[in-house]
Structure 1
Amino acid sequence: MIEFVYPWAFVLLVVPVFVTLFAPAYKERKSSIKVPYFARLVDVTGEKPQSGAVLLNRNNIQRLIVAFSWLCIVTAIAKPEMIGAPINQEKSARDLMIAVDLSGSMSVEDFTLPNTTNSSTAKPEQVNRLIAVKHVLNTFVKNREHDRLGLILFGDAPYLQAPFTDDITTWQALLNESDIGMAGQSTAFGDAIGLAISVFEQSDTQNRVLIVLTDGNDTASKVPPVEAAKVAAAHDIKIYTIAIGDPTAVGEEKVDLEVLAEMASVTKGKSFQALNSEELLDVYAEIDKLEPQQFDSLSFRPRVSIHHYPIVLFVSIYLLALFIVNIRIRLQLRKQLRHVQSSSNPGGIS
């Protein structure tokens, strides 16, 4: 299908009609020469003498070429475009921010990674909490390839490690480069929620989800976690909290399950507790069910400008006309030359 960007340009098609009807005929003066042998010159050239003004007229072929050439020029001005078949693209309808605790208590080695070998006698690998979180998160995000992911790391203060991106490989690299204590030894997940809110505000996506992983209670936030969660709810952000610490611990390492549950409830999310890698995997599987991937379908038709084709056609016709006129003039000159030769030697050579 062909569409024109400037269809109003076809009004220019009537311009030659108005020029022909209302513009005066072109006139020019030429110098004349008086010769004493005019009659002989007429006989030699074969031209018939005329008197007065001479009005140059075009034949029908010339009129057709001029009209078609003007049509090509006007069509090019209208800028025709070839419209292709519709192309549908699916874009993620969700921004998913993950906030990971990097406080000192994440170094406790009370998690085991699943046995990935075929040997039944191999002992499970004992790792710290952060390594377990990284392992499970890497598995989780592989199944969220259509979501835009962000990453916040928090300790004494929150830091935006990765803004929202659909580059899962880069996101995983930034997660794997994080280490315990690089954001401080305390836990400030209330401020982490505040940072997530500010990042979400820069996004146009309406479906917003925040997953917070922590193994301690809030000890360094300027804004209490529950108050931050209320602000998040006002911005349509749903929070899933995952407690990965020992609930029987005391002091800064104690997980405040009640606060985490209230944060999730305020934002219509859900609170989870994971004491080992298997439970952490189950948590992410549950989040997958609660937050299935959503897509915005975008449809567009590719447009390719073809305005150069009428120009090429016009130039081709113009060059062809020049070629034909040139051939015609050469034939006429040869004819006149033969006529002159036959007139100058009427009896031939004896």
Structure 2
Amino acid sequence: MIEFAFPWMFLLLPLPVLVVWLAPEHKEKKHSVQVPYFNRLVQVTGEAPKQGAVLISRNNIQRILISIAWICLVTSMAKPELIGPPNSQEKSARDLMIAVDLSGSMQIEDFTDSQGNKVSRLTAVKQVLTSFVESRGKDRLGLILFGDAPYLQAPFTEDTNTWLTLLRESEIGMAGQSTAFGDAIGLAISVFENSETQNRVLIVLTDGNDTGSRVPPVDAAKVAAAYNIKIYSIAIGDPTAAGEEKVDVEVLEDIAKATNGQHYLAIDNQALSDVYQQINDLEPEKFDSISYRPRTSAHHYPIVVFMLIYLVSLTLVNIRFYFKQRKQEA
């Protein structure tokens, strides 16, 4: 299939006809010899005197070649394009932000890994997040680390390998010892403002109370709901603990409820894995299908066609002239 990028260029096709019709012939003065015996010379030669311009006419082959040349030039300026078959490209329709708590209480070793060894809460989170992220397909993932303040460790990206590298390099206390849970939600909102998709998900993993936010977590969640952000809050640790290690389950539930999300309590590694599996079921992958047709410019082909016709015609004319000359010599 062929389409023209500038089809209006074909309006130039009748331009040579208009030039021939409207523009006067070119006149050129030449020197002449004045002789006193002009009348006698006319009688001897038998030629009658003429006045006016002499028009040099072209033969039919020249007219045809000039017409083809102009048509090819205009067609090339119209920029013909070869349209290929439609191709479909799938693009993730969801931006998934994960916020991880790096406060001091995340170093408590009260989780059991798949081999039965005691590991810290952060280590368990990293292990399970690795499996979770590797199953996300084409989702765009972001990473926020928070403690005394939240930090955007990774903007939304489809490069899961880089995302996992940044997660593995995170350590306890990198963002401070407190828990600025509400500020982490606020940072996620500001990042989501530049997101093009409408299916926005924030997963927050924390094991403590909000101890350092300027904006209360519930208020931040209400703002997130206005931006169509769904929050899944995951409480990590023992809900019966006291002091700074205590998990404020009520606040986490209110946050999830305000955004039509879900709240989960993960007390060990297996429970944390089950939580991610439930999120996989609740948030199935959605894709935008983008269909496009590849376009290949073919503007040079008309010029090539003309050149071939011209070379063939010129060759035939020379051959004809050669045999005609040989015949005259014979």
Q: TM-score, normalised by structure 2?
A: 0.90
**1:1-350 aligned within 5 A:** 1-31=1-31, 52=50, 54-115=54-115, 124-325=116-317, 338=329
**Aligned in 2, Cα 1:186/1:165: closer, same or farther, shift over 3 Å?**
same
Deviations 1:11-61 (A, max 9, x none): 111112212222223343445689xxxxxxxxxxxxx98964543222222
For the Cα contact (< 8 Å) 1:240–1:264, is it kept in 2?
Answer: yes
Aligned length: 318
Deviations 1:225-257 (A, max 9, x none): 101101101111000000011111111110000
How far is 1:161 from its partner?
A: 0.3
**Aligned in 2, Cα 1:330/1:213: closer, same or farther, shift over 3 Å?**
same
| Corresponding residue SS for 2:289 | strand
For the Cα contact (< 8 Å) 2:237–2:268, is it kept in 1?
Answer: no
Counterpart CA distance in 2 for 1:155 and 1:326 is: 88
Deviations 1:86-136 (A, max 9, x none): 111110110000000001111111111113xxxxxxxx1221111100000
| Letter paired with 1:153 | L
| Letter paired with 2:210 | D
Deviations 1:118-163 (A, max 9, x none): xxxxxx1221111100000000011112110000000111000000
**Residue in structure 2 matched with residue 119 of structure 1 by the alignment:** none
**Residue in structure 2 matched with residue 344 of structure 1 by the alignment:** none
**Aligned in 2, Cα 1:54/1:321: closer, same or farther, shift over 3 Å?**
farther
**Aligned in 2, Cα 1:161/1:308: closer, same or farther, shift over 3 Å?**
same
| Corresponding residue SS for 1:153 | strand
For the Cα contact (< 8 Å) 1:243–1:272, is it kept in 2?
Answer: yes
Aligned-residue RMSD, C-alpha: 2.3
Counterpart CA distance in 1 for 2:310 and 2:33 is: 34
Moved more, 308-317 or 68-77: 308-317
Counterpart CA distance in 2 for 1:224 and 1:74 is: 68
Counterpart CA distance in 1 for 2:176 and 2:283 is: 31
How far is 1:320 from its partner?
A: 4.2
For the Cα contact (< 8 Å) 2:154–2:166, is it kept in 1?
Answer: yes
| Letter paired with 2:62 | Q
**Aligned in 2, Cα 1:31/1:335: closer, same or farther, shift over 3 Å?**
farther
For the Cα contact (< 8 Å) 2:210–2:217, is it kept in 1?
Answer: yes
| Letter paired with 1:150 | G
For the Cα contact (< 8 Å) 1:145–1:168, is it kept in 2?
Answer: no
| Corresponding residue SS for 2:253 | helix
Counterpart CA distance in 2 for 1:68 and 1:50 is: 39
| Structure 2 unaligned regions, length at least 5 | 35-45
**Aligned in 2, Cα 1:171/1:49: closer, same or farther, shift over 3 Å?**
farther
How far is 1:79 from its partner?
A: 0.6
Counterpart CA distance in 2 for 1:30 and 1:300 is: 64
| Letter paired with 1:240 | Y
Counterpart CA distance in 1 for 2:80 and 2:98 is: 49
| Corresponding residue SS for 1:109 | coil
How far is 1:62 from its partner?
A: 1.8
Moved more, 23-32 or 220-229: 23-32
For the Cα contact (< 8 Å) 1:69–1:317, is it kept in 2?
Answer: no
| Letter paired with 1:206 | Q
| Corresponding residue SS for 2:88 | strand
- Aligned identity (percent) is 65
Counterpart CA distance in 1 for 2:239 and 2:288 is: 41
Counterpart CA distance in 2 for 1:146 and 1:2 is: 34
